[in-house]
Amino acid sequence: MARSDAGKLSLILLMTPFLMWIVLLIILPQIGIGYLSFQEKVGPRQYVFGVGNYVEFLSEPIYWNTLLRTAWMSILVTILALMIGFPVAYYIAKIARKRSRAALFLLCLIPLWVSDLVRAFGWIVLLRETGVISGALQSVGLIGGPVELLYNDITVVIGLVYTVVLFMIVPLVSTLEGMDNSLLEAGYNLGGTRFTVFRMIVVPYAMPGIVAGCIIVFMLTAGSYLTPILLGGKNSMWFTEQIYTQFITRYNWESGSTFGVLLLLFTSAVVWLGLRLTGQNLASTVAKE
C-alpha cells in the first residue's frame, strides 16, 4: 500500500513538469488563440462571438492563395530536403568510418550555430547583384554584366532547404544507423540489384525516419518567417508574414489568430494526407517496433 502510494507520488512528481509545460505553454495559448479567432470586432472595444474572421479569410483570395502557395512550396522544400538529406544521412550512417561519423554530424550542425537572420544575410551577401557569386562569375567571364540571383522563389526554396535539411538528416541517420549491414548484403546475395535493394530494403527500413523527417521539415518550413521574407523579394508571399502583419501592423489580433489556427489545421491536414498516401501512421513512426 505504502509502496504503491510512493509509486503514485513519484509518477505525479515526474509528470507534473511535463504536464505543466504542455498545458501552460501549448494548450492554453492555443485555446486562447482559438477563442480569439472567433471574436468579431464590431466597434472600439466591442466584440461578438462569430465566424466572421474565417469568412473573411475565405472571401479574400489573397489570403488563401498565400496559404496554398506556402503549403505548396513547403512540400517542394520537403521533397528536396529528402532528396538531398537521404544520401548525406546514408553516407554518415553507413559508409563513413565510425570515427569521422561524429565529425560529419557536427559539420551538419554548424549552420545551427548561427541564427536564422545571420544565415539569411549570408545568402544575401552571396547572391545579390553586387554579391560574391555574381562578381565571381563576371571575373571568370561567364557572364557579361551583373546578375541578380536574389529575390525569387528559387532562392527562397534553396534558402529554406539549407535551413531545414539538417532536421531531415538527423532522424534519417538515427534510423539508418540501426540498420544491420547484413540486411543489405542479404539483399544483394539473394539477387537484388542496387536499385532493388534500395527500393525494397533501405527505403522501407528508413520509412519511420523519412516520415519523421518530412513532418518536421514540412512544419518548420510552413512556419518559417525570416528566410522567405529576406530572400523573397517583391512577389514573395509567405503565410507567416500575413500572420505577423495581422498581429503587428494591423493590430488585428482576431484575424491574426484566425490565420494561426488555419495554418495549424491546414499543415496538420497536409501531414495527415501525406501519411495516408504513403500508407504510414504516426504511431509506427514514433514508436518503432
Partner 1 sequence: MKKFGLLSTAAAVLTVAAGAAQAETLRLLTWGSYAPEEVVRLFEEKYPDIDVEVTYSNNEEMIAKLRATRGAGFDLAQPSHDRIFAVQEEYGIYKPLDLSKIDTASMQESLLEGVKANTTIDGEVYAVPHQWGTSGLMADITKAPDLNSWDDLCDPQYAGQTSMRLRRTILLGMAFAAGKDPFAAYNDLDEYQKLMDEVTETLIACKANLKAYWNGGDDLSNLMLSGEAVASETWDSTAYKLYAENPNIVFIPPETGALAWIDTFAIPAKGEADDAAYKWINFVLQPEIVTMMSASTGAIASVKGAIDLLPEDKKAAVQAAFDEDDLNNLKFFANIPAGIEEIEGKALDRIKAASE
Partner 2 sequence: MFDLQGDSLTKRFGSFTAVRDVSFEVPSGSFFSILGPSGCGKTTLMRMIAGFEEPTSGDIRIKGTSVVGTPPNKRNVKMVFQHLALFPMMNIGENIAYGLKCRGENKVDIRRKVGEVLDRIGLPGVEEKQVSQLSGGQKQRIAIARCMVLEPDVLLLDEPLGALDLKLREHMKIELKQLQHQFDTTFLYITHDQSEALVMSDNVAVMKSGRFEQIGPPEQLYHAPQTAFVAGFVGDSNRFEGRLSARAGDEARVTLDAGGEMVARLGQEGLSDGAAVSVFVRPEAISAHATRGAAAADMVAVEGTVDSLLFNGANSRLLVKLDDGTQIESSHTTGAGAGARFAPGDRVTLTWAVADGLCFAAEGGA
Looking at the Cβ atoms of 134 and 285, the one nearer to partner 1 is 134
Cell of 168: 531531415
97 binds partner 2 (CB under 8 A): no
In whole angstroms, how far apart are CA 183 and each of 66, 69, 152, 197, 209?
45, 41, 44, 9, 17
Residue identified by cell 509502496 is: 3
188 binds partner 2 (CB under 8 A): yes
189 binds partner 2 (CB under 8 A): yes
Q: Label residues 81-108 b or e (16+ Cβ within 10 Å = b).
A: bbeebbebbbebbeeeeeeebeebbeeb
Among the listed residues 96, 207, 229, 264, the single contact to partner 2 using CB under 8 A: 207
CB of 44 to partner 1, least distance (A): 5
Give the footprint of partner 1 on residues 197-256 (CB under 8 A).
Answer: 229-230, 233-235, 237, 242, 245, 247-253
Q: Residue 188's binding partner, choosing from partner 1, partner 2, none, with beta-carbon cut-off 5 to 8 A by kind?
A: partner 2
Angle between helix 116-127 and helix 153-177 axes, rounded to 10 deg: 130
Among the listed residues 53, 66, 155, 227, the single contact to partner 1 using CB under 8 A: 66
User: Residue 105 in contact with residue 186, Cβ under 8 Å?
Assistant: no
Looking at the Cβ atoms of 91 and 121, the one nearer to partner 1 is 121
In whole angstroms, how far apart are CA 92 and each of 96, 98, 194?
5, 9, 19
Binding-site string for partner 2 from residue 127 to residue 166, where x marks contact by CB under 8 A and - marks none: ----------------------------------------
Q: What share of the chain is helix, strand, coil (3-state, %, to 5)?
A: 80, 5, 20
Name the strand (E) or helix (H) holding 43: strand 39-43
Among the listed residues 6, 20, 22, 65, the single contact to partner 1 using CB under 8 A: 65
In whole angstroms, how far apart are CA 247 and each of 91, 122, 165, 193, 258?
44, 28, 30, 55, 11
139 binds partner 1 (CB under 8 A): no
Residue ranges that bind partner 1, judged by CB under 8 A = 24, 28, 32, 44-45, 60, 62-63, 65-66, 124, 128-130, 150-151, 229-230, 233-235, 237, 242, 245, 247-253
Residue ranges that bind partner 2, judged by CB under 8 A = 180, 182-183, 185-193, 196, 200-201, 204-205, 207, 289
